[in-house]
C-alpha cells in the first residue's frame, strides 16, 4: 500500500487497524503460551494422579481423595478452555449442549468446596432432589462455572454458619438452583452493580478476588436464557438463585442414563498380539506419563530424541505406532514426520500437544493421524491404541458381579435407614462416613464401589433389598 496517497483521515484509520491487529496477535501469542505452560504442568499433576489411583494398596479414604483431585483437574482443564474463549471474546454466548447427569455435576461441586468449607468451620449442605442416573440436556461447562463462582463466593464471604446448595425441579422443563449463605450480605443499593465486571462492595475489599466471579456467572446465565437473582441482607446473608430451561433428553426432560457410551479400559494385549510403539520426546530422567501407562499394560516401547535414533528404529523394527510430543527438544515436528513417512507412509502418528489455538490444531491435523491434548487421561491413550494400533485387547471388567454373596448384610437397622436417606439425597461424603460403620466387610466393599461411581440408585436398591 502506498501510504503517501492516503488522506489524513484514511491514514489514521489504517494506523488504528494496524494497532488493533498487532494487539490481537500479541494477545493470541500470550494466551497460547500461557495455555501451553499451564497444560504442560497440569499434565504432570493429572497423569501422576492417575498412576497413583491404580495402586492396589490404597485404602478407601485415599482413593476418595485421589478421585477428588482427578475431578478437580478435569474441571480445571475445561476452565482453561473457557478462559481462552473469554480472552478471545468468544464462547460466552455460544452454547455447547450435551446430555449429562445432573447429580454427578452437583456432587463434584460439593466435593470441590467441602474441604474449603471445613477448613473455615463452615457447614456446607447439598440438597439435591434428583436421583442418580437422571439426565438433562444443557451446557454442562457453563452450568459448572456458574455454580463454581456462586458457591465459591458464598464460602469466601461467609465467616461462620453455613452455605446451602439446593437443586430442585422447578417445573416440567426447568431446574431451580439456590445458594444460601450466612455471610456478610450485600446492601440493596449494590445488588445490581455487583453483576458488572470488577465491581466489589466496600466490605468485600478485605477479601481476595477481582470482582469477576458474579459477572461471568451472570453472562453465562444470560447465554442460557436465564438471569441471576439475589435476595440479601447486610450482615445476615445472601440467597442467589437461577432457573435454567433444559432441552429434552431422548423422550423425556429427565431420563434414565441407559445408553451412555463408555470407553473400556485396556487390561492387556490379547494373546498372539504384539505392539511396538515409538515415543518421540525430550530425553530426561523423569519417566513420562505415557511410558508409565504402557509399562503398566506390558506394551513394548522405545524413546527417541534424535533423527539417527528414529531412523534406526524404523529401519530395524516393525513399528506399529508413534506418539510424538510436539514440544520435544524444540525441533520441528513436521521435519520428523517427513522422515517417518519416507520409510513408512501408513504408520499412525499421534501428536501429544499442549497447544489449543485453532491455528495450531489445524496444522497438527494436517500432519498427524490424530492428536491428544495435554493434560490427557489414560482413557485418551486407550482410545488411541484401540482405534489406530490395529491390535486386539483384553478389557478390564469394572462391573460388580451380582451373585448370592452380594446381598447386603447390615445388622444396625438405623444405619440402613440412614444410608438409604442420604443415598436419596445424593450426599457422597455423608454416605462415605456411614459406610465406614458397616461391620460386614463384603457389604461395605459393594456399597463403597457403587458410591465410588456415584451410583446412588444402586445403593438405594441394595439397601431396600436388605430392609425387605
Residues 73 and 119 in one domain: no
- 71 with 120, same domain: the answer is no
Query: What pLDDT, on a 0 to 100 scale, did the predictor assign at position 254?
Result: 40
Question: In 3D, which of 426, 429, 462, 461 has the Cα closest to residue 444?
Answer: 462
Report the Cα 81 to chain-centroid distance in Å: 11
386 within domain boundaries: no
Contact between 10 and 2 (Cβ < 8 Å): no
Q: Hunting for cell 487390561 — which residue is that?
A: 267
| Number of separate domains in the chain | 3
Residues 117 and 225 in one domain: yes
Residue 353 domain flag: no
Cβ atoms of 304 and 278 closer than 8 Å: yes
Q: Taking the CA atoms of 231, 102, 463 and 416 in sequence, report the sign of the dihedral they define.
A: negative
The reply to whether 111 and 252 lie within a common domain is yes
As to burial, measured by CB atoms within 10 angstroms (0-12 exposed, 13-18 middle, 19+ buried), residue 259 is exposed
pLDDT at 203: 52
> Omega into 185 within 30° of 0, i.e. cis?
no
**159 near 119, Cβ under 8 Å?**
no
The Cα-based distances of 143 to 139, 278, 355, 372 in angstroms read 6, 41, 25, 26
Query: Are residue 114 and residue 249 in the same domain, yes or no?
Result: yes
User: Considering the domain boundaries, does residue 224 fall inside one?
Assistant: yes
Q: What is the pLDDT of residue 103?
A: 83
CA atoms within 13 A on the CB side of 231: 6
Q: What is the per-residue pLDDT for 194?
A: 67
Which pLDDT belongs to residue 87?
A: 56
What residues have CB less than 8 Å from 13, skipping those under 6 apart?
none
Q: Residues near 132 by Cβ (< 8 Å), separated by ≥ 6?
A: 101, 103, 104, 426, 454, 455, 456, 457, 458
Q: Residue 42, Cβ neighbours under 10 Å: how many? A: 17
Residue 203, domain extent: 98-256
Strands (E), 288-348: 300-304, 321-325
Residue 300 lies in a domain: no
387 located within any domain = no
Residues 62 and 160 reside in one and the same domain = no
CB under 8 Å to 292, separation ≥6 — which residues?
Answer: 47, 51
Q: Would you state the pLDDT for residue 167?
A: 92
Q: What are phi and psi of 251, to 5 degrees?
A: -95, -15
Residue carrying the nine cell digits 442418580: 132
User: Same structural domain for residues 64 and 162?
Assistant: no
pLDDT for 36 = 64
- Rounded to whole angstroms, the Cα distance separating 305 from 74 reads 30
Which among 256, 275, 308 is the end of a domain?
256
What is the number of other CB atoms lying within 10 angstroms of the CB of residue 369? 17
**Domain assignment present for 397:** no
Element (H or E) spanning 421, and its range? helix 413-425
Please check whether residues 106 and 246 belong to one and the same domain: yes
CB 449 within 8 A of CB 398: no
- Which domain CATH number covers 193? 3.30.565.10
Q: Is residue 80 part of a domain?
A: yes
82 with 104, same domain?
Answer: no
**Grid cell 429434552 — which residue?**
248
Handedness of CA 314, 320, 322, 323 (dihedral sign): negative
Rounded CA separation 64/71 (Å) = 10
pLDDT 10s digit of each residue in the chain, 468 long?
554 565 656 655 655 665 555 555 565 666 666 666 777 777 778 778 888 887 878 888 888 788 778 777 766 766 666 566 555 544 455 677 777 888 888 888 888 788 788 888 899 999 988 876 677 888 887 888 889 889 988 998 899 999 999 998 887 778 999 999 999 888 887 767 666 644 445 555 454 444 456 777 888 888 888 888 999 998 899 999 999 887 655 433 443 333 333 456 788 899 888 999 999 887 776 678 889 889 889 999 999 888 788 888 888 888 999 999 887 644 566 778 877 878 877 889 998 888 766 677 777 888 888 888 887 888 888 888 988 888 989 888 655 455 445 678 888 888 888 888 887 776 777 787 788 888 888 888 888 887 766 677 788 888 887 665
Does residue 138 belong to any structural domain of this protein?
yes
Position 35 scores a pLDDT of 63
Q: Rounded to an integer, what distance in angstroms lies between the CA atom of residue 464 and that of residue 319? A: 54
Residues 171 and 245 placed together within one structural domain of the fold = yes
Q: Domain ends where: 53, 87, 121?
A: 87
pTM of the model: 0.48
- Are 153 and 225 contained in the same domain? yes
Tell me: do 102 and 52 sit in the same domain.
no
- Residue where one domain finishes, among candidates 87, 120, 145: 87
Task: Please name the residues in contact with 23: beta carbons below 8 A apart, sequence gap of 6 or more.
Answer: none
Amino acid at each position: 500500500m502506498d501510504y503517501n496517497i492516503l488522506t489524513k483521515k484514511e491514514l489514521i484509520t489504517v494506523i488504528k487497524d494496524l494497532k488493533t491487529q498487532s494487539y490481537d496477535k500479541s494477545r493470541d501469542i500470550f494466551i497460547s503460551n500461557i495455555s501451553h505452560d499451564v497444560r504442560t504442568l497440569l499434565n504432570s499433576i493429572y497423569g501422576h494422579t492417575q498412576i497413583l489411583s491404580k495402586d492396589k494398596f490404597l485404602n478407601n479414604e485415599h482413593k476418595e481423595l485421589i478421585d477428588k483431585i482427578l475431578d478437580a483437574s478435569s474441571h480445571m482443564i475445561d476452565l482453561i478452555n473457557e478462559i481462552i474463549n473469554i480472552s478471545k471474546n468468544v464462547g460466552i454466548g455460544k452454547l455447547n449442549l450435551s446430555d449429562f447427569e445432573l447429580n454427578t455435576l452437583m456432587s463434584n461441586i460439593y466435593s470441590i468446596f467441602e474441604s474449603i468449607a471445613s477448613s473455615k468451620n463452615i457447614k456446607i449442605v447439598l440438597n439435591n432432589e434428583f436421583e442418580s442416573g437422571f439426565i438433562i440436556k444443557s451446557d454442562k461447562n457453563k452450568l459448572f462455572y456458574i455454580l463454581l463462582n456462586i458457591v465459591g463466593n458464598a464460602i469466601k464471604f461467609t465467616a461462620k454458619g453455613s452455605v446451602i446448595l439446593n437443586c430442585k425441579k422447578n417445573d416440567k422443563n426447568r431446574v431451580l438452583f439456590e445458594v444460601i449463605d450466612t455471610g456478610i450480605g450485600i446492601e440493596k443499593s449494590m445488588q445490581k452493580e455487583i453483576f458488572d465486571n470488577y465491581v466489589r462492595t466496600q466490605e468485600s475489599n478485605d477479601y481476595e478476588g477481582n470482582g469477576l466471579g458474579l459477572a461471568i456467572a451472570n453472562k453465562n446465565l444470560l447465554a442460557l436464557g436465564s438471569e441471576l437473582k439475589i435476595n440479601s441482607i447486610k450482615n445476615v446473608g445472601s440467597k442467589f438463585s437461577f432457573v435454567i430451561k433444559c432441552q429434552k433428553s431422548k423422550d423425556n426432560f429427565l431420563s434414565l442414563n441407559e445408553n451412555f457410551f463408555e470407553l473400556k479400559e485396556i487390561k492387556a494385549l490379547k494373546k498372539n498380539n504384539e505392539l511396538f510403539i515409538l515415543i518421540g520426546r525430550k530425553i530426561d530422567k523423569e519417566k513420562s506419563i505415557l511410558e508409565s501407562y504402557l509399562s503398566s499394560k506390558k506394551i513394548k516401547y522405545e524413546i527417541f530424541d534424535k533423527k539417527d535414533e528414529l531412523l534406526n528404529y524404523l529401519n530395524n523394527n516393525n513399528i506399529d505406532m508413534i506418539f510424538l510430543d510436539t514440544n520435544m527438544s524444540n525441533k520441528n515436528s513436521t521435519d520428523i514426520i517427513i522422515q517417518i513417512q519416507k520409510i513408512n507412509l501408513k504408520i499412525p502418528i499421534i501428536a501429544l500437544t499442549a497447544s489449543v489455538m485453532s491455528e495450531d490444531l489445524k496444522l497438527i491435523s494436517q500432519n498427524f493421524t490424530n492428536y491428544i491434548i495435554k493434560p490427557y487421561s489414560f482413557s485418551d491413550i486407550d482410545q488411541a491404541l484401540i482405534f489406530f494400533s490395529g491390535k486386539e485387547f483384553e478389557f478390564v471388567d469394572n462391573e460388580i458381579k451380582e451373585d448370592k454373596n452380594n446381598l447386603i448384610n447390615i445388622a444396625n437397622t438405623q444405619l440402613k435407614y440412614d444410608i438409604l436417606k442420604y443415598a436419596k439425597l445424593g450426599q457422597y461424603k455423608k454416605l462415605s462416613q456411614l459406610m465406614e460403620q458397616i461391620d460386614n466387610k463384603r457389604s461395605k466393599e459393594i456399597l463403597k464401589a457403587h458410591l465410588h461411581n456415584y451410583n446412588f440408585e444402586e445403593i438405594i436398591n441394595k439397601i431396600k433389598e436388605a430392609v425387605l
